[in-house]
Structure 1
Amino acid sequence: MDRRKSLKAIALGSVATGLAAHGCKPGEEKPEVTDVKAHEPVKWRTDYENKILTEIKEGEDFFNEHQRETMVVLCDLILPPSEQYKGASDADVVSFIDFIARDTESEKMQTDLKGGLMWLDHKCNTENELVFKDATIEQQKAILDEIAYYDPNTPDSERPFEVNFFSMVRNLTMSGFYTTKLGIEELGYKGNMPNVWDGVPQDVLDQHGVAYDPEWIAKCVDQSKRNIAAEWDEEGNLLT
């Protein structure tokens, strides 16, 4: 499995969990997936949520111009574009991270994000006499190779600051990309979809040597009655 597939596999679990509530009931039209950005007020949020989002949106950006440009470079190194796939900047992932940084109540996260960008520039300037965003891809990757891999058995508190910084940005990049229309389309995630249950497939029944009672099937797998709620008598017998 290549790196992109590995990252997608991790992201799919998070996306599936987060989007499970957006399925639809049988007979309802499936909502179209739209590329709504995290900071855009929308009708399905509460008035309070939209108020907070509007305040964040209209507030001052978290990253300055240099920091934003550096983040764009860093995020595209984490999830680069190719002929087959879109990259982080195609989904404007840095705006998502900027929003998260402004929305969070964690001052440590805010400090670590800006401190990590300072570390990248200092490291790159020391080794190449350039700020990180102006270095060559080879120079940038050489720096990231030193901090991109860590021993999972080592507690976060014992890892170097720069290693935790890169891990945080990698996680934010994946979350930001794979919760946009571009990312969801790449995953092939369809969400909860209405279907018709006809019982356990016949080949599975045959494999286990079991069969349905015809009377039970008539009561429980009659699709003409699929929207009728089941009723039971006091002894637990199915009535409808």
Structure 2
Amino acid sequence: MDRRKSIETMILGVGASALAFHGCKTEESKPAEEVAVNTDTKYFGRTPAELERIEKLNAERLFTDHDMDTITALSLVILPPKEPFGGPIEAEVPEMIEFMGKDIPEMQPTLKGGLMWLDHKSNKEFGVEFKSATLEQQKQICDEICWHDIEKPLEEQPLEIQFFALMRNLVVTGYYTSKVGIADLGYKGNTPNVWDGVPQDVLDQHGVAYDPEWIAKCVDQSKRNVIAEWDENGNLLT
């Protein structure tokens, strides 16, 4: 099976199952914290404390340039680019992985140790660092660590297997939660559209029709972004 297709199927399946869960609100819920206002197009809404932490983490450096090149190379092996959307580089997956490593320090020994293992293995087998190996050589190395005994807890597996499992999860998560990854999935949720009313053939099938005055007022695309308002008698004002 095509690797990308199988990953897409898994992502869509997880997304669909998530729709089955609904949040609950208690009567004694605390008021939400004030959300910081930011005009940055990449800003996704955080409290002042969260924003301060994000800025602090962004100012730190976890990986060397060599490490980042190796992460990029491995990301492309795990999830090859696909036209016209791109791949891990376009989705800024390596940068996301570094951020996650800073945000969750427990990941750092596995990430750094795994990167060292890749270079050691590549130098031993092919005489070059992992990032400089050919794609086939990189795949050969990954083939040795991409599967593990599911009967044995992952934390009891060798470091290199733990590393690859972590990297695979981070790459897939980083890509399919990015703008290019969502476009790759073809997900159209939360996308504004144009509604012209029930199709005419359906209206004809049921022998009904819109009131001309109502349809002119309620299905006016020039006012599609205007929030509806009603008077005290329930009459539409806008």
What range is the shorter-chain TM-score in? 0.5 to 0.7
The answer on 1:8 being equivalent to 2:2 is no
Structure number with higher relative contact order (C-alpha < 8 Å, ≥ 6 residues apart): 1
Structure 2's unaligned 5+ residue stretches are 23-39, 199-228, 231-238
Q: Which moved more, 1:82-91 or 1:166-175?
A: 82-91
User: Which of 107, 113, 116 is the aligned partner of 1:115?
Assistant: 113
Call closer, same or farther: CA 1:124–1:165 in 2, change over 3 Å.
Answer: same
Q: Distance in 1 between matches of 2:100 and 2:13?
A: 20
Give the aligned partner of residue 172 of structure 1.
170
Q: Label 1:190 to 1:174 Cα distance change in 2 as closer, same or farther (>3 A).
A: same
Partner of 2:74: 74
Residues in 2 aligned to 1:90 and 1:8: alpha-carbon distance in whole angstroms: 17
Is residue 70–residue 117 contact of structure 1 (8 Å, CA) maintained in 2? Answer: yes
Report the CA distance between 1:159 and its aligned residue. 1.8
Match of 1:132 among 130, 133, 145: 130
Q: Name the stretch that deviates more: 150-159 or 133-142.
A: 150-159
User: What percentage of residue pairs aligned between the two structures are identical?
Assistant: 45
3-state SS of 1:171 partner: helix
- Indicate how the Cα distance of structure 1 residues 3 and 52 shifts in structure 2: closer, same or farther if over 3 A, else same: same
- Asked if structure 1 preserves the Cα contact closer than 8 Å seen for 2:62 and 2:101, the reply is yes
Cα pair distance change 1:105/1:123, threshold 3 Å: closer
Q: How many residues align?
A: 178
Distance 1:61 1:71 in 2: 15
2-structure distance, mates of 1:131, 1:124:
6
TM-score normalized by the length of structure 1: 0.66
Deviating beyond 4 angstroms after TM superposition, the runs of 4 or more aligned structure 1 residues are: 13-18, 192-196
5+ long unaligned stretches in structure 1 = 22-35, 199-226, 229-240
Q: 1:48 to 1:14 in 2, by over 3 A?
A: farther
- Report the RMSD for the aligned CA atoms in angstroms: 3.0
Deviation at 1:167, TM superposition (A): 0.7
1-side partners of 2:130 and 2:139: how far apart?
A: 10
